[in-house]
Amino acid sequence: MKDKIMDQLQRFSKAMFVPVLILPIAGILIAVGNLFTNARLLAVLPFLNNPITTGFGTLLSGSLVSILNNLGLIFCVGLAVGLANKKKAESGFTALLGFLVFINAMNKFMGLTGILVSADSLQGTGQALVLGIQILDMGVFLGIILGIVTAMVHNRFSDTEFKNAFQIYGGTRFSFIVLIPVVVLLAVMLTYVWPFVQAGISAMGNFINRTGNFGLFIYGALERLLIPTGLHHLVYTPFLYTSLGGVATVGGQILEGSRNIYYAEMADPSVAVLSRSVIWDARGISKMFGLIGACLAMYHTARPENRNKIKAILIPAAVTSFIAGVTEPIEFSFMFVAPILFVVHACLSGFSMVALNLLNVRAIGPNGFIDFLLYNVPLGIAKTGWPVYIAVGLLFFVIYYIVFRILISRLDLKTLGRESEGMEMKLYTKAEYNEKISAEKTLKAEKRIDAALIVSALGGADNIKKVDNCYTRLRLILEEPELVDETVLKQDTGANAVIRKGKNVQVVYGLQVTAVRKAVDAELGLGEEK
């Protein structure tokens, strides 16, 4: 039962990346739009103060904010696509239809039962307008529920075919036929059930707010501790996109979730100070600063004869973490050989968020330094306090360095460059480092990826039941996970780590994982439908 639950969580976790990874793009473009309307920047660069550039900035940021107002629909379609076993495009289209049926069914039923309140002022009523239709305010949970339901119906009935005159009603069309009564009944049921859920969510949010910095520490620590399971985004997603991360009125609209509120406040020049909810998205201190200190500590505690050798591993990993916020290459370098360091890392990550909150810093940097600049600098120091963020980051660089160096030395932890005699250290010569870089470049070109070797190391084509990927990991469901050859995957295909949870196997490739996924799909003869 435990493995089955983990399998389902892993699958849901992978599917969440479909909608979640697209949202930062909207946020970055909102930030770009704000660059052209920022009063401070226009004062410094007056040539930008003209109707064309300011109009472009207003249009860009203003239009993309609409994405935040329709997250339910985005998550519905995204999850339906991510959870579909095949015919993913049809599953997404069916989800869109199901979403429209649901909101109208709930609206009509609420009208028949007299539950609808006056649309003049919906704040505090538990109701909201979704695509112009007044229903219960379910936020992003509506999309999550309908996305899961649609995928379940689609996977069960999309292969159903009929003969003769009924033939046109088969396949994905039959899935939609089945989905209609399901979502209508769901709309009726949730009309009575959801108010209790709303009360529970509100109570949880109040508990988190009452616990203050303790709750923030737990949140920050868990977000790191769950990295090995691949479920860490299940921790932060509710805070970024639901009322757990705060509720605020921006520009006359009620928004839920720290990232939604942040994006809206970015686009609204009347907002003088960013709200406290932004702190739930301040996860970048450990990525941009802390882990760099950890890398330096591992370098200084390595055996002298190995220090030049481990630069090949630590320098690229540190740069990737700082610039792009991809931390797994560093974390996996000590996660399994010295798990106490990983626990300390998680705790320090939680403490860094508490420090930002105590100092009233509202800057964010969830995906590295580039995002940090785009998100915060255009808003100015008064709104974000971004210079203090950097100061806190430098402080945690020192803390990470001192703590990691003491623990590694005192406990004789076998981090990079401190392996026992006879143990092989990855990339321990310059020639091997050059080979590694060459391999990484090769991985960027899909046609040159040795997909056959990857498939072979995974136990062969017959052993692979499902292939998927997230931001940095190739995620697979294997019939016999014990057939995986980790040595080949790590040494010959460029993998950073291999994680097994039951039949779920994750191979960490970093930012080039999309190209690896496509090459593996091609090797297995899988089309886009898979």
Catalytic residues: 470
Q: Amino acid letter at 381?
A: I
Determine the Cα–Cα distance for residues 283 and 289; give it in Å rounded to an integer. 11
Check: CB of residue 367 under 8 Å from CB of residue 324: yes
Q: Return the beta strands (E) in 117-173 as ranges.
A: 127-130, 133-136
The structure tokens listed for 447 are 């046609």
Phi, psi (5° rounding) for residue 334? -130, -5
The structure tokens listed for 315 are 């320098």
Determine the Cα–Cα distance for residues 525 and 187; give it in Å rounded to an integer. 40
DSSP count for the chain of H helices, then E strands: 23, 8
Determine the Cα–Cα distance for residues 325 and 344; give it in Å rounded to an integer. 19
Beta bridge partners of 497: 508
Q: What does the H/E/C string look like for 476-516?
A: EEECCHHHCCHHHHHHHCCCCEEEEECCEEEEECHHHHHHH
Q: What angle do CA 58, 59, 62 make, to 5 degrees?
A: 75
| CB-side neighbour CA atoms (13 Å) of 162 | 13
Chain centroid offset of residue 477 CA:
21
At which residue do the structure tokens 């201190």 appear? 285
For 503, residues 6+ apart whose C-beta sits below 8 A from its C-beta are 3, 7, 465, 477, 478, 479, 481
The structure tokens listed for 432 are 């091997």
Q: Considering all CA atoms of the chain, what is the largest pairwise distance in Å, rounded to the nearest integer? A: 79
DSSP code string of 266-329: HH-TT--S--GGGGGG---HIIIIIHHHHHHHHHHHS-GGGHHHHHHHHHHHHHHHHHH---HH
Determine the Cα–Cα distance for residues 38 and 61; give it in Å rounded to an integer. 12
- Residue 528, judged by CB atoms within 10 A of its CB (0-12, 13-18, 19+), counts as exposed
Q: Is 474 helix (H, G, I), strand (E, B) or coil?
A: strand
